[in-house]
Amino acid sequence: MSSARDVTDASFEADVLKSDKPIMVDFWAEWCGPCRAVSPILDKIAEENADKLDIVKLNVDDNPATAEKYGITSIPAMYVFKNGEVVKRVIGAKPKPALEADLAEFLA
């Protein structure tokens, strides 16, 4: 399973909005094939860049309030938050080089 930790509607503010470094939220669901495909890629990116970027997962089925608040209509959706604000949106499963290119400004 994933090495990224789970966040919930209840923990979102403390875990994500108050994070002192950039944090990517992977909005996903159990039934979503592309979500399952991208999960190990995100784990690898998180592992290789632990000092620069945190990656957490939010199950949209179990935490509809946060998914609704951020207008998540398509998953996987990966939003990078910095200082409590969404600074980057990546929608859809992508291979590792494409995700790293999307996240280059946070991984540098």
Q: Which residues are catalytic?
A: 32, 35
Please provide residue 29's backbone torsions phi and psi, each rounded to the nearest 5 degrees.
-150, 155
**Closest listed residue to residue 105, CA positions, set 56, 49, 57, 58:** 49
Q: Which residue has the tokens 């950039």?
A: 22
